[in-house]
Amino acid sequence: MASGIFALLDDIATLMDDVSVMSKVAAKKTAGILGDDLAVNAEKSSGFVSDRELPVLWAISKGSLLNKVIILPFAFLLSAFLPVAVTIILVIGGLYLAYEGAEKIYEYFFPHPHEVKIELTENLSKEEVLKREKEKIKSAIVTDFILSVEIVIIALGTVVDAPLTTQILVVTLIALLATVGVYGIVAIIVRMDEFGYKLIALNEEDNSFSDKVGRVLVNALPMIIKAMGLVGTLALLLVSGGIFAHNIEFFHHLLPEFIPGILQEFLLGLVVGVIVLALVILIKKAFKIKSKPH
């Protein structure tokens, strides 16, 4: 009896050790897409009146958790009964990531007009505020669903050869960490300027230490969001290029070996992204489809 208990504890310890190691690998693989996830959600969680930012962010966070609850069972069923589908979805997701990265670069060099977004202000009636909050929350949750699928599939792709129990533990852990980590940081970012204003109003002195710190926080917010957008764009191309390099044999040996791996992945992601972007632009022009506002 005692030996059976010790054997069980040893099995659990071994399982937890495997989960720990594979979780680190999966976290590294998904870190890139989290940069874009963070930048997107910071943008979508801003533009609200001050006292509504955190309630709106909480609503989006709950929607994100529901997304994970929907996505995870389907991902595990595919891994158990049709593992090749995981690779296929992973490559399709890579095409989307590469396109999104290339589109952001294209937008930077060749900006095109979008519909003017109407932000929430205190001049709106309570009913209008709630209506537009719901619209932005819905939009954010839909975007989160797409990004969540990518995160789950990329994480699953790193443990697809492991036992199902390990897959479930690792991918579920990554999904939960992604939600808590991303939205926790977003909450800090969207309230950073508010905290800065409170520091400025902390005392009646002019140009005090609290005033200086407050102004730094207020002025830093737009720069931080822009920087996250840049990091997110690079991450999209790196992650997509990594997907192609590790899951498609042709791309794995396409570039010379003397080129560093990270540069190979970036170039693969960029080239594939440009090709997909060109195709999308041609299709839109052929069918006269208007781009949706970002």
Q: How confident is the model at residue 6, as a pLDDT?
A: 36
Two tokens, residue 208: 């005090």
Q: Does residue 109 belong to any structural domain of this protein?
A: yes
CB 144 within 8 A of CB 15: no
Q: How confident is the model at residue 4, as a pLDDT?
A: 47
Q: Does residue 293 belong to any structural domain of this protein?
A: no
Q: Does residue 84 belong to any structural domain of this protein?
A: yes
Distance CA 86, CA 76 (A): 9
Q: How confident is the model at residue 41, as a pLDDT?
A: 65
Range of the domain at 201: 2-287
Tally the domains of the chain: 1
CB 169 within 8 A of CB 20: no
Q: Does residue 265 belong to any structural domain of this protein?
A: yes
**Three-point CA angle 98, 100, 106, nearest 5°:** 100
Amino acid at 283: I
Q: How confident is the model at residue 47, as a pLDDT?
A: 58
Two tokens, residue 156: 């699953």
Distance CA 180, CA 282 (A): 39
Q: How confident is the model at residue 290, as a pLDDT?
A: 59
Amino acid at 1: M
CB 183 within 8 A of CB 44: no
- Cα 214 to Cα 52, 187, 197: the distances in Å are 21, 18, 6
Q: Does residue 158 belong to any structural domain of this protein?
A: yes
Q: How confident is the model at residue 279, as a pLDDT?
A: 94
Write out the DSSP string of 2-66: HHHHHHHHHHHHHHHHHHHHHHHHHHHHHHHHHHHHHHHHHHHT-SS-GGGHHHHHHHHHHHHHH
**Three-point CA angle 81, 87, 93, nearest 5°:** 125
Q: Does residue 219 belong to any structural domain of this protein?
A: yes
Q: How confident is the model at residue 125, as a pLDDT?
A: 66
Write out the DSSP string of 73-132: HHHHHHHHH-HHHHHHHHHHHHHHHHHHHHHHHHHHHS----PPP----TTS-HHHHHHH
Q: How confident is the model at residue 19, as a pLDDT?
A: 55
Q: Does residue 292 belong to any structural domain of this protein?
A: no
pLDDT in tens, the chain (294 residues): 444 443 433 444 444 555 565 555 555 656 556 666 666 666 666 556 666 777 888 888 888 889 989 988 988 888 888 888 878 888 888 898 889 889 989 988 887 654 444 444 456 666 776 777 788 788 778 878 877 887 888 888 777 777 778 788 888 888 888 888 778 877 777 777 777 877 877 777 777 777 778 888 888 877 877 777 777 788 778 888 888 887 887 887 777 777 787 888 889 999 999 999 999 999 888 887 655 554
Q: Does residue 294 belong to any structural domain of this protein?
A: no
Distance CA 269, CA 100 (A): 10
Q: How confident is the model at residue 127, as a pLDDT?
A: 73
| Nearest partner of 260 among 240, 244, 243, 238, judged by Cα | 238
pTM above 0.75, yes or no: no
